[in-house]
A and B are shown apart, each in its own frame.
Chain A
Amino acid sequence: QVQLVQSGAEVKRPGASVNVSCKASGYTFDKYGISWVRQAPGQGLEWMGWINAHNGDTKYAHKFQGRVTMTTDTSTTTAYMELRSLTPDDTAIYFCARDTTTAVFFDYWGQGTAVSVSS
């Protein structure tokens, strides 16, 4: 069965970077994409960006351009999301989700990684 297993919770200081991983299994990794979606406490879902696991193409939401980098390692079927220059507003649950290579919808989700940013 399709599974996406994310790395554990993180606590960061303002100005730091965070790197969240997402280990995929149960499907052919490079035939799909991965999107990252975050959810601030008590808030809705916010799409951050997408990466095509086949060729590494990326699309980032304008809000995160210049501050986020998404990568994949096909040898370990793992996706990574790095977010830099963290502020308290980045405190959220970060989800990875399986996407299509044409960036459509998210049919399987990771369990989420809590990132807390505080001085």
Chain B
Amino acid sequence: QLTQSPSSLSASVGDRVTITCRATLVISNSLAWYQQRPGEAPRLLLYSASILHSGVPSRFSGSGSGTDYTLTINNLQPEDFATYYCQQHYSVFRTFGQGTKVEV
């Protein structure tokens, strides 16, 4: 099971935003992050905790180990206001966090 915090946050353009994802057991960096804008399909941002997917801006970064992981967005842009999900890929039975909504 994955628990994200916070469930939502308010931020402004240019801010640095940090979202946390905690697993109930060690997942050995097997974590991906997705962005979902309203009405759209999710978009892969990072996998294996810190590897940036092709085409994703470098203001997105990931870190962590063991059970605790973090998504950081530097210099928040207008298009970054969205909901973010973590997903473990340690087990073939994948699970998602409940999501974190980043609002203006």
Q: Decide yes or no whether B96 CB sits under 8 A from chain A.
A: yes
CB neighbours (8 Å) of A112 from chain B are: 41
Q: How many of chain B's residues touch chain A, expressed as a range?
A: 20 to 34
CA distance A107 to B93 in the complex (A): 17
CB neighbours (8 Å) of A50 from chain B are: 92, 94
What per-residue 1/0 map shows which CB atoms of B69-104 lie under 8 Å from chain A?
000000000000000010101001111111100000
Q: Which of A84-110 contact B (CB under 8 A)?
A: 95, 97, 103-110
In the complex, the answer to whether B96 meets A59 with C-beta atoms within 8 Å is no
Q: Using known A-B contacts A45-B42, A95-B42, A104-B47, determine if residue A61 contacts B93 with beta carbons closer than 8 Å.
A: yes
CB neighbours (8 Å) of A108 from chain B are: 44
Q: Decide yes or no whether A116 CB sits under 8 A from chain B.
A: no
Q: Using known A-B contacts A45-B42, A95-B42, A105-B44, determine if residue A59 contacts B53 with beta carbons closer than 8 Å.
A: no
In the complex, the answer to whether A109 meets B96 with C-beta atoms within 8 Å is no
Contact check: which of A35, A95, A109, A110 meets B94 at CB < 8 Å? A35
Contact check: which of A37, A44, A95 meets B98 at CB < 8 Å? A44
| A interface size (C-beta, 8 A) | 22
In the complex, the answer to whether A46 meets B96 with C-beta atoms within 8 Å is yes
Contact check: which of B47, B95, B97 meets A105 at CB < 8 Å? B47
Residue of A nearest to B83 (CB): A44
Q: Decide yes or no whether A111 CB sits under 8 A from chain B.
A: yes
In the complex, the answer to whether B41 meets A103 with C-beta atoms within 8 Å is no
Contact check: which of A35, A44, A61, A111 meets B41 at CB < 8 Å? A111
What per-residue 1/0 map shows which CB atoms of A24-61 lie under 8 Å from chain B?
00000000000101000000111100100000000101
B residues sitting closer than 8 Å to A (CB atoms) are 30, 32, 34, 36, 41-44, 47, 53, 85, 87, 89, 92-99
Known: A106-B87, A109-B42, A112-B41; 19 extra A-B contacts, CB below 8 A, are A35-B94, A44-B98, A45-B34, A45-B96, A46-B96, A61-B93, A62-B93, A103-B92, A104-B30, A104-B32, A105-B32, A105-B47, A105-B87, A106-B34, A106-B42, A106-B44, A108-B44, A109-B41, A111-B41
